Structure 1
Amino acid sequence: MEVIVAVWFVLSVCFFLALCVHSFAAKFNRFSQSQIYNLFQDLVRYGKTKTNLQRPAFLHAFDVPKRWFIHFYTVSVIWNGLLMGFLLQAVLLGQHFPEWLTVLIRTFNGGYMQLRNGDQLSALLVQMLLWLHSLRRLVECMFISVFSDGVIHVVQYFFGLSYYILLGLTVLCTSFPIEYKGFSIEELFAQIQWNHLVGIMIFIWASIHQHMCHVILANLRKGDSGKVVNLGHSIPRGDWFELVSCPHYFAELLIYISFSVTFSGCKLTWWLVVLYVLFNQGLAAFLCHEFYFKKFKSYPKKRKAFIPFVL
């Protein structure tokens, strides 16, 4: 098994188990009162879902501001922009990747891979979409989102930084050429398949809704003038919030599904990435869903947590 496949498999299993542990503990109060469980909750919760968590004083030393989320997207824009540049040079000009990057990719994917026809365009599109996604999220964090005094665990912080570095490498690991050959624009256009168009459409659709959801959340803390008037929490309404508590997490899942579809759905590694996002965002969504129901007695009972009409 390639290292990159093993990494995403382990991450998927870990967050699946975390989701199971949380669901199990919710039904057994004795377990939920244990110190080990409190440590577990401290690791998986962040932001508003962490505000009422009873924690030993020493655990507060591991808190960092949730607004540091912006660092994730800053790193992603720089790193994945760099990888996109290398990939463009490799595909269009036939230039080799830098030696350090070649060694890194071969370490993760176990060697060179022969690309099927169309993989060059798929790799370029996914790398570009990933970069655009990171850029949009960076802009939203800078100019739209209104962060409270919520915190995240320092482990979550460093994991988040590593995550976007790993994502970019995953694109290259699933599309690393056995030989370098420059492709003309016409040759790349000739590779266009239905999956590229469908993947881009899903990406745009999900990105638009995710942006709308972030605007709705930010506006809950702003007055009519557009200025921030409070840092509290209110019941979000509008768009996909009428269906689920965390539609921005659902949109995130759709965005990663769009990457896999763009790769024609035949890359095991990317389906493992999708599986990881499903469990990771699912856990975060369930925690938020519980928070809303505990805080607001009038919270819409028909809303699901994560996936419309399902979960």
Structure 2
Amino acid sequence: MYLVGLIRALGLRGLLNAGWVAASLPIVIAFLPISQLLPFHRLLMQVARRGVKLCALPRSLVPQRNFLHFYMVGVVWTTFLLLSTYFYWKTVFVLLLLEIQVLRRLYESIHVFNYSPTARMHIFGYLVGILYDMFLPLYLLLVFSDEYVIPHGDWFEIVSCPHYLAEIVIYIGILVASRGLDITIWLLLVFVVSNLSIAAIETHKWYQ
């Protein structure tokens, strides 16, 4: 798939892994039982806190109802990736599970939760939520989309395209069944052999 190939070519998987580490490491460090880290712990809790009683500067706060944006982004982005990867069944299955999750959270944000007009959250937490719902499906896409490799074993040890060979054998069988008396079947066989041979040659070149 073009999208997966582009991501791999740009080396984004390593960047995504680094992003997960960078997002998790501050949380782990902040909760280490070290007294010198207490100011960092308080800062992190201030950023992560949501609700009415916040001490941060107003300019660094956004309405808590903006939680809705997380799942709107998640639904749109996951749907786009689903439409782009419909032929990778493992990826589709995992992304469908994620789609159900973000759709459920979107529904809850609209119809279940009743956010107070004065409730606020830190803008850093807001941005983290947006980025999370963008990077998670992208990461799942990389993990569960199988990279195409050159097949081996059975007839692949003899020819590059055994499925083409099998199709030619089928048409030869049709010719034998007709006792070779029908010119149309001969012409059909010639077309099949020539057409599949060209395709097999191109595939063999690609394998090399």
| TM-score, normalised via structure 2 length | 0.57
Matches within 5 A, 1:109-258: 120-148=88-116, 149-179=118-148
1:161-183 per-position Cα deviation (integer Å, ceiling 9, x unaligned): 11110011001111334339xxx
Asked if 1:6 corresponds to 2:18, the answer is yes
8 Å CA contact 1:47, 1:66 repeated in 2: yes
Q: In the alignment, which residue of structure 2 is the partner of 1:64?
A: 62
Number of aligned residues: 136
Q: Give, in whole Å, the separation in 2 of the partners of 1:176 and 1:121.
A: 8
Deviation at 1:136, TM superposition (A): 0.8
Q: In the alignment, which residue of structure 1 is the partner of 2:3?
A: none
8 Å CA contact 1:4, 1:173 repeated in 2: no
Q: In the alignment, which residue of structure 1 is the partner of 2:203?
A: none
1:45-82 per-position Cα deviation (integer Å, ceiling 9, x unaligned): 2226xx1x5x36xx222111111000000011011111
Deviation at 1:13, TM superposition (A): 1.9
Q: In the alignment, which residue of structure 1 is the partner of 2:80?
A: 82
8 Å CA contact 2:74, 2:134 repeated in 1: yes
Q: Give, in whole Å, the separation in 2 of the partners of 1:68 and 1:142.
A: 11
Letter in 2 for 1:7: G
Q: Give, in whole Å, the separation in 2 of the partners of 1:121 and 1:14.
A: 36
Q: Give, in whole Å, the separation in 2 of the partners of 1:121 and 1:78.
A: 20
Q: In the alignment, which residue of structure 2 is the partner of 1:111?
A: none
Letter in 2 for 1:47: G
Which contiguous aligned blocks of 4+ residues in structure 1 show a shift greater than 6 angstroms? none
- Structure 1 unmatched runs, 5+: 92-119, 181-311
- Which structure has the highest helix share of the two? 2
Q: Give, in whole Å, the separation in 2 of the partners of 1:68 and 1:24.
A: 34
Q: Taking structure 1 as reference, are residues 74 and 121 closer, same or farther at Cα in structure 2, changes over 3 Å only?
A: same
SS in 2 for 1:2: helix
8 Å CA contact 2:31, 2:41 repeated in 1: no
Q: Give, in whole Å, the separation in 2 of the partners of 1:138 and 1:78.
A: 11
Q: Give, in whole Å, the separation in 2 of the partners of 1:160 and 1:178.
A: 30
Letter in 1 for 2:28: F
8 Å CA contact 2:91, 2:144 repeated in 1: yes
Q: Give, in whole Å, the separation in 1 of the partners of 2:82 and 2:41.
A: 41
Letter in 2 for 1:82: F
Larger Rg: 2
Matches within 5 A, 1:48-59: 51=53, 55=55, 59=57
Matches within 5 A, 1:284-299: none
Q: In the alignment, which residue of structure 2 is the partner of 1:47?
A: 51
8 Å CA contact 2:95, 2:140 repeated in 1: yes
Q: Give, in whole Å, the separation in 2 of the partners of 1:17 and 1:37.
A: 8
- Structure 2 unmatched runs, 5+: 1-12, 150-208
1:98-135 per-position Cα deviation (integer Å, ceiling 9, x unaligned): xxxxxxxxxxxxxxxxxxxxxx4332211001011000
Deviation at 1:38, TM superposition (A): 4.9
Deviation at 1:39, TM superposition (A): 3.7
Give identity over the alignment, percent.
26
8 Å CA contact 2:30, 2:41 repeated in 1: no
8 Å CA contact 2:91, 2:141 repeated in 1: yes
1:230-259 per-position Cα deviation (integer Å, ceiling 9, x unaligned): xxxxxxxxxxxxxxxxxxxxxxxxxxxxxx
